[in-house]
Structure 1
Amino acid sequence: MVKVLFICLGNICRSPLAEAIFNAKVAARGLSGLVCSDSCGTSDFHIGELPDERTLACADRYGIPINHRGRQLQRSDFRNFDYLVAMDTSNYQNTVKLGQRYKLKTDHIYLLSEFAPDASFTDVPDPYYGGLGSFEEVYRILDASLDQFLAKLENLPSIHGKPQ
């Protein structure tokens, strides 16, 4: 099983939306038993909270269910996930620093934009202080980027039952 963790700041906007979109794409491709994802934040601002209502509304417009409560990045996540995928440079750096502080492996931490080489962005913008249009923009970025990321994962030998 390939395990992916999506990371943003508070875990109520970008990363739970990324998790939900990704899980829907995984299910649509018949990979549910082979690939899974979760999401978290680098801060403790929203632990236990539901995603932002605008995140929920955006996902609902596209028929994508979100079943998530905010949580903070944990030490065990570095061991339990194959890919730690940050939404932006700041959270990428915070994730790397945390891993280094605990002397954990950090070579599996990525920016989402690394999986979308033709993308015109480095950071997925934080829509928290914007309106619904900001959440739609994030949805479009995630939708396209996660297609490319999942295509890369589908090419892994482990997805096809072969050891890496």
Structure 2
Amino acid sequence: MIKVLFICLGNICRSPLAEALFNHKIKEKGYENFLNCDSCGTSDYHIGELPDERTMASASKNGIKICHRGRQLNRTDFRDFDYLIAMDDSNLSNIKKAANQHKTSAKNLFLMRSFQKNAAFSEVPDPYYGGVDGFQKVYEILDSSLDGFIETLEKNHPELTKK
């Protein structure tokens, strides 16, 4: 089982949407027995909370179901997940600091948009302080980035395509 962890700041906007969309995409491809994912935040701002209502609305509008409660990145995540996917540079830095504090390494650590073809920017913007349109834009960024990530997984793990 290949395990993926999507990480943003508070775990109520970007990362739970990435988690839900990734689950939707891998189910469509029949990979759900080979891939597993979760999401978390680098901060403790929203532990136990449901995703932001605008995230939920964007997901619903696009036919995606979210079932998640906010949680914070912890020591065991570095051991338990094969891929750590950060939404922006700030959280990438926070993940590296946390790995250092826990005396471990952040193996296979990537920025989400590094998988997006022809990405004009490296970060998935945080829509929290904006309007509904920002959440839809994040959905679109994640949609294309996750397609690229799944292609990368298929190349790196040929067993996926031989299901």
In the alignment, is residue 128 of structure 1 matched against residue 103 of structure 2? no
CA offset digits 1:62-92 (Å, max 9, x no partner): 1100000000001000000000000000000
Give the aligned residue type for 1:129. Answer: Y
Give the aligned residue type for 1:82. Answer: D
Deviation at 1:107, TM superposition (A): 3.0
After TM superposition, the score normalised by the length of structure 1 is 0.95
SS of the residue 1:76 aligns to:
helix
Structure 1 residues 18-97: aligned runs within 5 Å: 18-97=18-97
CA offset digits 1:100-149 (Å, max 9, x no partner): 12111223211112222521111100000010000011000000000010
Contact 1:78 1:106 in 2 (8 A): yes
Contact 1:40 1:73 in 2 (8 A): yes
After TM superposition, the score normalised by the length of structure 2 is 0.95
Give the aligned residue type for 2:123. Answer: D
Give, in whole Å, the separation in 2 of the partners of 1:86 and 1:63: 24
Give, in whole Å, the separation in 2 of the partners of 1:76 and 1:117: 32
Report the identity percentage. 57
Deviation at 1:33, TM superposition (A): 0.3
Give, in whole Å, the separation in 2 of the partners of 1:97 and 1:114: 21
Question: Which residue number in structure 2 is paired with residue 101 of structure 1?
Answer: 101
Query: Runs ≥4 in structure 1, deviation > 4 angstroms?
Result: none
Give, in whole Å, the separation in 1 of the partners of 2:94 and 2:159: 29
Give the aligned residue type for 2:131. Answer: G
Give, in whole Å, the separation in 2 of the partners of 1:106 and 1:73: 12
Deviation at 1:160, TM superposition (A): 5.2
Q: CA RMSD in A?
A: 1.4
Contact 2:78 2:107 in 1 (8 A): no
Question: Which residue number in structure 2 is paired with residue 142 of structure 1?
Answer: 142
Segments of structure 2 that go 5 or more residues without pairing to the other structure are none
Give, in whole Å, the separation in 1 of the partners of 2:28 and 2:160: 15
Give the aligned residue type for 1:99. Answer: A
CA offset digits 1:17-71 (Å, max 9, x no partner): 0000110000000000001110000000000000000000000001100000000
Segments of structure 1 that go 5 or more residues without pairing to the other structure are none
The answer to which of 111-120 and 67-76 deviates more is 111-120
